[in-house]
Each structure stands twice: as C-alpha cells, then as structure tokens.
C-alpha cells in the first residue's frame, strides 16, 4: 500500500517561500497512471487543490495560485515538491500531498487516494 | 470554477440512523464526483469515486448516488466510528474543487 509523507518547515515568514516535499514509499512514483497533487486545508477556505504533476513533469495548477506556485518531481528520490512564493498569513494551512488516480470507467475519472498525513505550515514573523 | 455546495453543514444523528448528505454542483459534472471522509485529526480518506463506486475496503453502509448537478452520500446505519466531516469533490474540470464539508456528530 503506497504511503505519502510531507516534510518541510512548519514556520515561514511573510513574503518568503514555502517549500514542502512529499516522499512516496512502498511504490514507485513512476508506476501506473498517476498524477501527484498538493492540496491545502485552512479554516477560512476549506480544502483547496493547489496543483499536480505527472512523472514526466507535466503540471496543472489552480489559476488562483498559479503565479506563485511551482511543483516539481524527482523520480530518482521518489519525491515531488511544492514551492509557494511570497506567502502571507492567508497561506497558513495544513498542506497535504496525495496521489491523483486516473482510471477509465467509460470515460476517464480521477480521484485522490491515498493522502499524506498533512503538514501544518504557519506564516508568521 | 465549478462551485460545490454541501448540505447540511452539520448534523447530529443517533447510532443506527440513516444519514443523507447532499452535494450540488454549479454546473453539470456528469458522474465526476468523489466523496471523502475526514475523521478528527486525520487526513481525508476516499470513500466513493465516480459518484457511486465504493472504494475497496470501505464498508457497504456507505453509498453514493446522483449525476449531473445533484449527488448524495448515504450512511445506511450510522456507527460511532462514522464521526467525521464528509467532503464532495468534482473531477470534471480543473481547478478541482471541494464542497465545504458536512460534519456528522453522534447524539
């Protein structure tokens, strides 16, 4: 059963860059028809999808964050990463990484499974 | 963006009760709808995908139905371990979006 684990600083100063890494274990990040997503959860905005990447490096971003986000992948380390630039207090949230599963059920459907345990990131000086 | 609206935002029910949660999409999303359960202090967990397909390992008391703009998640007989917040999520179009959640409490 694949597992995901987020890591990175829990405190970031305003205007700086939030950096998180998701390590995938018990399976290869290149196996199957998967993308790899970042999702955050804050009290104010609920669950918000940030973006995703596939093993070839193709990305999709939420337009609301696109100008401040980069998602990258390191297949040799079985990891993918999130960078969010110029953070403010509004970026304080629990950040989750998740596997974005694609399957053909007549048409192509996708869903998030599994999720990492989440990493709380607080933006404060 | 496709807006997802859940109702109610919270409910309280007794063990053994039938519980129904509604999710509405701001436009037609066919059956591109997933349901997640988030127990207190935990990450969300997939329950239902493609509107009505039960994820492996999820108890059969959970069922999903609907298509187009209206969807429901039903718990046929509530158990204490079902205490959680439930979220719907559309996968019809990016940006992928979630409902605001329904918190289920046990009386």
- CA B12/CA B70 separation, integer angstroms: 22
Given a contact cutoff of 8 angstroms between Cβ atoms, the answer to whether A53 and A36 are in contact is yes
pLDDT tens profile A2-38: 999 999 999 999 999 999 999 999 999 998 889 999 9
**Cβ count near B82 (within 10 Å):** 20
Structure tokens at A36: 């790899």
pLDDT at A107 over 90: no
How close A14 comes to chain B (CA, Å)? 26
Q: Which of A37, A46, A52, A106 is best to mutate for the B interface (most B CBs within 10 A)?
A: A46
CA A115, distance to chain mean position in Å, is 10
Contact B89 A112 (CB under 8 A): yes
pLDDT at A108 over 90: no
Q: What are phi and psi of A68, to 5 degrees?
A: -120, 5
Under the banding of pLDDT at 50, 70 and 90, the label for residue B33 is very high
Under the banding of pLDDT at 50, 70 and 90, the label for residue B2 is very high
């Amino acid at each position: 059963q694949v597992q995901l684990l987020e890591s990175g600083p829990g405190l970031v100063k305003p205007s700086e860059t939030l950096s998180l890494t998701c390590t995938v274990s018990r399976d290869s990040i290149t196996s199957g028809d998967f993308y790899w997503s970042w999702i955050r959860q804050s009290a104010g905005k609920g669950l918000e999808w940030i973006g995703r990447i596939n093993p070839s490096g193709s990305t999709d971003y939420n337009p609301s964050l696109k100008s401040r986000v980069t998602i990258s992948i390191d297949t040799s380390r079985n990891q993918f990463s999130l960078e969010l630039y110029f953070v403010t207090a509004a970026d304080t949230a629990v950040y989750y990484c998740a596997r974005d599963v694609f399957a053909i059920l007549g048409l192509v459907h996708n869903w998030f499974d599994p999720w990492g345990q989440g990493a709380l990131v607080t933006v404060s000086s | 963006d496709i807006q997802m609206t859940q109702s109610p935002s919270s409910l309280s029910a007794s063990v053994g009760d039938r519980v129904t949660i509604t999710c509405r999409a701001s436009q037609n999303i066919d059956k591109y709808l997933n349901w997640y359960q988030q127990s207190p202090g935990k990450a969300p967990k997939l329950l239902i995908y493609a509107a009505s397909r039960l994820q492996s390992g999820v108890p059969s008391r959970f069922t999903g139905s609907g298509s187009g703009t209206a969807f429901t998640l039903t718990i046929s007989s509530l158990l204490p371990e079902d205490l959680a917040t439930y979220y719907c999520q559309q996968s019809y179009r990016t940006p992928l979006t979630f409902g605001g959640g329904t918190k289920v409490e046990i009386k």
